[in-house]
Amino acid sequence: MKLAFSTLGVPGLPLPDVLRLAAEHGYHGVELRAHPEEPVHPGLDPARRADVAAAFKAAGVEVLGLAGYARVAAPGDDEQVVAEIRGLLELARDLGAPYVRVFPGGTPEQSPEEADAVAARRLGTAAEHAADLGVRILLETHDSHRTGAAAMRVLGLVGHRHVGALWDVMHTWLGGEQPSETYAALSPYLGYVQVKDIASATDSTPLPLGAGVLPIAECVEVLSRHGWDGWLCWEYEKRWYEDAAPLPDLLTAGREHLGRLLNDSA
């Protein structure tokens, strides 16, 4: 498996510094938070996009994916959501990123069946554009669809190879799902896996990997046992927790922790 970290852990950090951190601490790739607060977002002009792609290539670091904020099950106009996804897909194509992350975003006012249908309709529409560009849309296990079983309901309706799943281990754990159950649900669709650690179900302040309660070891063991060789991406949510320890100080230890888990599971 290859290792990456998300720029959610280094909010606003200039791209050259992000690439330096990845290279110095032994990470193969970076997941870019695609938000106007960040150096890389869909508003970039073609010249800047080319500069970003060239910088990654020169550093020998891969763009794992773009973490977008489109909410595919949310009430409202389909076209606005689909247009947001298309903008992310085009940016991913320009940067050479294989994946774009979207959220479910269903609301309590919707029935599960309605949220599933809305999400599947929009993802199915965007999937054709994704296929043309050679990028996959990944629905993250999050908010209204936090378990693999819930995400699978949507993905099964879409039935398109350019729409898959992003497994966030915190949300599936909070949803009461065991890693083996999540993998069984998502394996036909799995793009990559986000790992992290927290103190408890009521305190999601980010911690160093291995210092909290999330079943990272079990997730790695399940993935290894089934021969999965994709990406593990550390999503350290510093942007939402200003008092959390700085991610750069933790990167080497985090990589070493994941390396030990991979060795143990082998």
Residue listed under structure tokens 């991610």: 247
Q: What is the pLDDT of residues 178-230, one digit of tens each?
A: 999 999 999 999 999 999 999 999 999 999 999 999 999 999 999 999 999 99
Which residues make Cβ contacts (< 8 Å) with residue 203, sequence separation at least 6? none
Determine the Cα–Cα distance for residues 236 and 194; give it in Å rounded to an integer.
Answer: 9
Which residues are 209's β-sheet partners?
none
Please tell me the predicted confidence (pLDDT) of residue 17: 98
- When pLDDT is cut at 50, 70 and 90, the band that residue 108 belongs to is very high
Please tell me the predicted confidence (pLDDT) of residue 78: 98
Q: Measuring CA to CA, how many Å separate 153 from each of 56, 122, 134, 145, 169?
A: 36, 14, 24, 9, 18
Q: Measuring CA to CA, how many Å separate 173 from each of 31, 179, 196, 212?
A: 22, 8, 11, 13
- When pLDDT is cut at 50, 70 and 90, the band that residue 266 belongs to is confident
Name the residue with higher pLDDT: 227 or 266. 227
Please tell me the predicted confidence (pLDDT) of residue 238: 97
Please tell me the predicted confidence (pLDDT) of residue 81: 98
Q: What is the pLDDT of residues 111-170, one digit of tens each?
A: 999 999 999 999 999 999 999 999 999 999 999 999 999 999 999 999 999 999 999 999
- When pLDDT is cut at 50, 70 and 90, the band that residue 30 belongs to is very high
pLDDT at 62 over 90: yes
How high does pLDDT run on average in the chain? Answer: 98
Q: What is the pLDDT of residues 68-91, one digit of tens each?
A: 999 999 999 999 999 999 999 999
Quick one: angle between helices 15-25 and 251-265, nearest 10? 40
Q: Looking at residues 25-30, what average pLDDT do you find? A: 98
Please tell me the predicted confidence (pLDDT) of residue 122: 98
Give the pair of three-digit tokens for residue 127. Answer: 């999937």
Residue listed under structure tokens 């996959």: 136
Please tell me the predicted confidence (pLDDT) of residue 58: 98
3-state secondary structure of 221: helix
Please tell me the predicted confidence (pLDDT) of residue 109: 96
